[in-house]
Amino acid sequence: MIQVFFQYDFLTYSLYTGLMIGFMAPFLGVFLVVRRLSLISDALSHITLSGIAFSLLLGRYYPFFAGLNPLYMGMAFSVGGALFIERLRNVYRYYKELAIPVIMSAGIGAGVVFISLADGFNNDLFNYLFGSVIAIRQSDFQLIGILTIVVSIMIILFYKEWFFLSFDEDQAVVSGIPKRVLHTLFIVMVALVIAASMRVVGILLVSSLMTLPVAAAIRWARGFRQMFVYAVIFGEISVVTGLVSAFHLDVAPGGMIVMVNILILLISLALTKGKQG
Amino acid sequence: MEILQQLTFLERGIIAGLIIGFICPLVGAFLLVRRITIISEALSHITLTGITAGVFLSQAVIWLNFVNPLYTGFLFSLAGSLLVEKLRQIYRHFQELAVPIILSSGIGLSAVLISLAQSSYNEWYSYLFGSIVTVTLNDLFFIMFTGLAALLILGAFYKELLSISFDQEFAETTGISVNRLNFFFAVLVALVISMSMKVVGILLVGAMVTLPVAASIQIAKSFKQVIILGIIFGETAMIAGIALSYYLNIATGGVIVVAGVVILIITNLVKRLTQAGTAAS
């Protein structure tokens, strides 16, 4: 089953990329869920779509952008959106939860307009929306590899601070942790991971890789550390089985990865029935 | 009925758009004050699953080929809205997880079904991003019927819904059955989402529900004003979107949403200016 992934270069790339994403997305997802921000990943993935569409549109008119990997523009939009959400939360002081649907709608709306203008309603767009096993190029692989290293370093450096902030924000601020800086740093990393995961999992499904493994892990874990371990294990299982089965069944990998995740979640819910999550 | 049959495809699209532009902000206002606008996103994604399942079934099973995907979409949307409530009870400490779970599973399942159903991608794009030129007479009937049903539910339970939305505990003590009303509300939202889908597109229905009321709440002084202004904004976005998309040849849903965003930005500016004005005087 899996041998074929080592015979062809592009399949090897997508497998390794998938493994990196299967580690990063659930790991950051744990922080997101504990801080009750899980919806932010949906908003950011939608805004990434407008970034990619914008890059495709520019590519039609300026040769410079045609050669540029659309991932960069997607990342830029994603990070911009992440910072903008924080601003919107201040505008709607009484309805803070509005910020996410507003960004989500604006992101996808602008994305659709850009795509229309670029005449991009073709199979390529479907790969962006739902992922693809064969779309990973060497440049994507390298970019995501660098990102994984950066994210890992960040996690090692700031694990304690984020941990503290997630559980007792007031106490953390009192003890002198720079909340704003750390929070912004965290959201920027989430934005980058979302943009990176997009190639394999697809824009519409990235957020599920950040929430579903964590939702299953919550049911099992007895502590915060265990939650990371379970979430990453579930994430990796889903990515590998999803990729392999998607290749053999010729369906969108994003869909298969999510289906495996849901299966894991359902099994977890059934086995841990009666437990308060 | 005969008048309806004589309509051109463009007129059908515009009528459908106007109905949607009226009802979406109406329901959106209730979602807004209950702080669950995000639920419209989850339900729209699960509606996509219903649609893909409908298309897939009509291809795979011959005696099912009369099924209009809009109906399966509605059924899934309804099931999804009930499931969200159930998930909220399971994850009592992480209630907000329910929405992303439903959202992801909805879109994940539809991705698989889309790959399996061997239709051309273009058909899916009109479901995903909306298109006024594909509104058939049947679709128009569906939209009118569901729109009417939504209005009836809203008219019959307006007071109760209002009281639940603003003060659930008070509503309970006055003898309103919260569970029953929540069920009707779920039906209402599911109806609105599945009716809007054909024109605005699944990925953009949430925008139609959220953006007009997000704009109107900035300048409205009462709940009634939120609704009225929301409807005005919704219709404006709809008309501007349809006109622009027709002349510029861009996907309808996208332009409608961008028009909604522009309205939102303008209202924010207006609010800021009036606030600055009162502060200065």
Mean pLDDT of the A58-78 span: 83
Classify residue B268: in a domain, yes or no: no
Residue A142 has pLDDT above 60, yes or no: yes
As a whole number of Å, the end-to-end CA separation of chain B is 58
Q: From the CB of residue A26, how many other CB atoms can be counted at a distance below 10 Å?
A: 31
Q: Point out the least confidently predicted range of B53-67, B106-120, B192-206, B229-243.
A: B53-67
The pLDDT tens digits for B250-262 are 888 888 999 999 9
Classify residue B36: in a domain, yes or no: yes
Classify residue B173: in a domain, yes or no: yes
Nearest to A91 among B35, B260, B268 (CB): B268
Q: Point out the least confidently predicted range of A7-21, A57-71, B91-105, B120-134.
A: B120-134
Mutate one of B34, B36, B38, B112 to test the A interface: name it (highest A CB count within 10 A): B112
Residue B173 has pLDDT above 90, yes or no: no
The pLDDT of residue A123 is 66
User: Scanning the structure block, which residue is given the tokens 């003890």?
Assistant: A175
**Structural domains counted in chain B:** 1
Q: Where do runs of H (alpha helix) occur along A35-174? A: 40-61, 63-67, 70-91, 99-117, 123-130, 138-167, 169-174
Mean pLDDT of the B2-24 span: 84
- With b for 16 or more beta-carbon neighbours within 10 A and e for fewer, the A154-191 pattern comes to bbeebeebbebbbeeeeebeeeebeeeebbebbbbbbb
- Cβ neighbours of B112 in A, within 8 Å: 251-252, 255-256, 259
Chain A residue closest in CA terms to B213: A98
- Cβ neighbours of A131 in B, within 8 Å: 111
Q: For each of the domains in chain A, give its residue range(s) and CATH number, in order of start.
A: 4-271 (1.10.3470.10)
**CB neighbours of B97 closer than 8 A, spacing ≥ 6?**
A33, A38, A211, A215, A218, B87, B91
Number of cross-chain residue pairs from A and B with Cβ atoms under 8 Å apart: 191
Nearest to A112 among B100, B114, B253 (CB): B253
Token pair in block for residue A179: 């909340």
Chain A residue closest in CA terms to B255: A113
φ/ψ of residue B218, rounded to 5: -70, -30
Mean pLDDT of the B76-80 span: 89
The pLDDT of residue B65 is 66
Distance between CA atoms of B217 and A93, rounded to whole angstroms?
Answer: 12
Residue A239 has pLDDT above 60, yes or no: yes
Distance between CA atoms of B279 and B281, rounded to whole angstroms?
Answer: 6
- Cβ neighbours of B210 in A, within 8 Å: 98, 101-102, 105
Residues 62-101 of B with CB under 8 A from A: 90-94, 96-97, 99-101
pLDDT band per the 50, 70, 90 thresholds, residue B281? low
Q: Is A112's CB within 8 Å of B91's CB?
A: no
Mean pLDDT of the A10-23 span: 88
- Which amino acid would we find at residue A114? F
The pLDDT of residue B127 is 80
Chain A residue closest in CA terms to B108: A255
Cα–Cα distances (Å) from A53 to A12, A114, A174, B229, B260, in that order, read: 27, 5, 43, 32, 20
Cα–Cα distances (Å) from A141 to A1, A10, A89, A155, in that order, read: 22, 10, 35, 21
Q: B41 in contact with A at a CB cutoff of 8 Å?
A: yes
Q: What percent of chain B is predicted at pLDDT more than 70? A: 94
Give the dihedral of Cα atoms A11, A247, B100, A47; nearest 10 deg.
Answer: 50
Q: What is the CATH number of the domain that holds B77?
A: 1.10.3470.10
Domain range for B162: 2-204
Classify residue B91: in a domain, yes or no: yes
Nearest to A215 among B97, B251, B256 (CB): B97
Residue B266 has pLDDT above 90, yes or no: yes
Question: How many CA atoms lie less than 13 Å away from B38 in the CB half-sphere?
Answer: 27
pLDDT top residue among B67 and A113: A113
B6 min Cα distance to partner chain A (Å):
30
pTM of the predicted protein model: 0.85
A92 min Cα distance to partner chain B (Å):
8
Q: What is the value of ipTM here, to two decimals?
A: 0.80
Write the burial class of residue B36 (CB in 10 Å: 0-12 exposed, 13-18 middle, 19+ buried). middle
- Cβ neighbours of A106 in B, within 8 Å: 207, 257-258, 261
Classify residue B147: in a domain, yes or no: yes
The pLDDT of residue A236 is 95
